[in-house]
Amino acid sequence: MNKILNEINSDRETQIFDCDVENDIALDEKYKRKNNPNIPDLAEGTVVRHYTALSRKNYALSTTFYPLGSCTMKYNPIINEKIASCAKFAEVHPLQPENTVQGNLEIMFELEKALCEISGMNNFTLQPAAGAHGEHTGLLIISEYFKSKKEKRTKIIVPDSAHGTNPASANLSGFEVISLKSEPDGTLSPDKLKEILTPEIACIMMTNPNTLGVFEKHIPEIAEIMHANGSLLYYDGANLNAVMGIARPGDMGFDVMHINLHKTFSTPHGGGGPGSGPVGVKSFLKDFLPVPTVVNENGLFKLNYKNKKTSVGQMKAFYGNFPVLLKAFVYIKSVGGNGLKEASVQANINANYVLNLLKDKVTVPAGNVCTHEFVLSSKGRLGEGVRTLDVAKRLLDYGYYAPTIYFPLIVEEAMMIEPTETESKQTLDEFVKVLSGIIDESKNNPEAVKNAPSKTPVSRLNEVEAARNPKLRW
Ligand SMILES: *Cc1c(COP(=O)(O)O)cnc(C)c1O
């Protein structure tokens, strides 16, 4: 036994002797500590228990239902994380010669093909690092396209039911935003669209299903109107979890789109990234895609810079967030086309199930049929002085992550719920029971709801103060 340990340690011992702090480092006396640091002197076991206890105070997909609307916080197979952290992938350097990373390039090549098949687009860039980053990339492509045609198109139509990043991206990409109001059923009216159409309109940016969780039923007509005006159609595909294997934006007439891999394809959206927002285009726009793209020349995968002159340029260092691409690829290949469709169908069924159970307790602003998520309004449906924010906080007391609230902005006292396909009927029933109970409680005992949460490590925070002056130590 000792012999083995000696062998293992023989390397380390040299290191230990090499860095004998006392003798080797000529640190000036004035920099040396006079007293021992003021840190608790605790047994390792105690420290481990402390940090484990802290880690358990986190809300996570692996501990609780996470109905955060617009984020598709579904359970993603842990094996995909393991594959992504496998050293053969994780330790590859982006500047390695192409012939040493053929496997990585092949995965990117195949992922692009799979995304084309799922979306009905013809080419993709995998560079953008988020949904909003994809929007910016897509709009730069549209901008370059019109420049190449010498057309001056400076405006973009963004419906009020689009995601909040859409007008921001349009603005950031140098366009003026023209707003289009949605109809009472939550969809867009082709007639109202016609009224605001001018030759300066570059495109319409549609979120579909839109932020109310409603599928836009007039898309073919809208596509015809826009194309007749020489304008393009941008599809915000962050809600792809509702339509995979059922409908394809490319078939609907869209010219450019982005997909949030970190929602739909095995990376959760929450947690701050890294993410991935690939952008797909129809063939006539492919020369404007960021460089490099991955091509296959005689069986060899290569990075292609051929379109450098026409391209919008490089949108991110290197080629995108490879581990997120890898997880998406593994997920798509492991569940297959039918699996993707099944996921969307189930996500839609689960959302409609929850909506149906809740619809009498709250107000449903856009019809009683939704896609993968839905929006409720609790305006006038809660006890005296109780707001949606209070209900969300009270859910924390029952161990749930709170849904998205006050979004979309077009619904007062909004609550946006996305159950996802991976939750069981039992989980959904339990959640509905708790949420309905809180709505009743807001009438019988409003103070309990207004003062929530009371069972979490910290109670109600001043949110503005907490964001601007976070208190990170006691
Ligand atoms: C999440 C989302 C986005 C933005 O994606 P990010 O990765 O957060 O930038 C855009 N549109 C819709 C509809 C979304 O749900």
Instruction: Look at ligand 1, atom 2, and give the residue with the nearest C-alpha.
Output: 238
How far apart CA 325 and CA 452 sit, in angstroms, is 40
| Long-range contacts, 61-66 (Cβ 8 Å, 24+) | 61/268, 64/399, 64/400, 64/401, 65/400, 65/401, 65/419, 65/423, 65/427, 65/431, 66/270, 66/401
Sign of CA dihedral 209, 74, 329, 313: positive
Answer left, alpha or beta for residue 399, where phi above 0 means left and psi between -120 and 50 means alpha.
left
pTM of the model: 0.89
Of 307, 400, 409, 421, nearest to 353 by C-alpha is 421
| Angle value at C-alpha 442, between 441 and 446, nearest 5 degrees | 105
pLDDT the model gives residue 18 = 47
CA of 137 to the centre of ligand 1 (A): 14
pLDDT the model gives residue 55 = 87
Neighbouring-strand partners of residue 159: 180
The CATH number of the structural domain formed by 78-335 is 3.40.640.10
If one counts every other C-beta atom within 10 angstroms of the C-beta of residue 28, the result is 6
Q: Which amino acid is at 133?
A: H
pLDDT the model gives residue 57 = 86
| Tokens matching residue 95 | 């500047």
The CATH number of the structural domain formed by 337-467 is 3.90.1150.10
Judge if 78-335 and 337-467 fold alike in CATH terms.
Answer: no
Please identify, by atom number, the ligand 1 atom nearest to the C-alpha of residue 262.
7
How far apart CA 389 and CA 405 sit, in angstroms, is 7
Please identify, by atom number, the ligand 1 atom nearest to the C-alpha of residue 133.
9
CA of 167 to the centre of ligand 1 (A): 12
Strand segments, DSSP code E, in 256-324 are 256-259, 279-281, 293-297, 300-304
| Tokens matching residue 54 | 């802290």
Between the alpha carbon of residue 318 and those of residues 37, 54, 126, 128, 312, the distances in Å are 43, 37, 11, 11, 15
Do the beta carbons of residue 208 and residue 222 sit within 8 Å? no
| Tokens matching residue 194 | 């016609």
Pocket test for ligand 1, best of 236, 264, 417 (most atoms within 8 A of CB): 236
| Pairing relationship of beta strands 201-207 and 176-180 according to DSSP bridges | unpaired
pLDDT the model gives residue 22 = 56
Between the alpha carbon of residue 123 and those of residues 101, 206, 289, 311, 319, the distances in Å are 22, 20, 9, 13, 15
Q: How big is the chain by its Cα radius of gyration, in Å?
A: 26
Which H or E element spans position 118?
helix 102-119
Please identify, by atom number, the ligand 1 atom nearest to the C-alpha of residue 277.
7
Per-domain residue ranges for the chain? 78-335, 337-467
Of 93, 113, 138, nearest to 322 by C-alpha is 93
Per-residue tens of pLDDT for the chain, all 474 residues:
455 545 544 544 444 444 455 555 678 888 888 998 888 889 999 999 999 998 888 888 889 999 999 999 999 999 999 999 999 999 999 999 999 999 999 999 999 999 999 999 999 999 999 999 999 999 999 999 999 999 999 999 999 999 999 999 999 999 999 999 999 999 999 999 999 999 999 999 999 999 999 999 999 999 999 999 999 999 999 999 999 999 999 999 999 999 999 999 999 886 556 899 999 999 999 999 999 999 999 999 999 999 889 999 999 999 999 999 999 999 999 999 999 999 999 999 999 999 999 999 999 998 899 999 999 999 999 999 999 999 999 999 999 999 999 999 999 999 999 999 999 999 999 999 999 999 999 999 999 999 999 999 889 988 899 889 888 876
Give the list of residues 6+ apart from residue 400 with CB closer than 8 angstroms, or none. Answer: 64, 65, 67, 431, 434
Do the beta carbons of residue 398 and residue 436 sit within 8 Å? no
Instruction: Look at ligand 1, atom 6, and give the residue with the nearest C-alpha.
Output: 131
Give the list of residues 6+ apart from residue 369 with CB closer than 8 angstroms, or none. Answer: 352
How many Cα atoms are found within 13 Å in the side-chain-facing hemisphere of 244? 28
4-14 burial, b for 16+ CB within 10 Å, e for fewer?
A: eeeeeeeeeee
Give residues (CB < 6 A) around ligand 1. 70, 130-132, 163, 165, 207, 236, 238-239, 260, 275, 277
What DSSP string describes 345-402?
HHHHHHHHHHHHHHTTTSB-TT-S--SS-EEEE-TTTSSTT--HHHHHHHHHHTTPPP
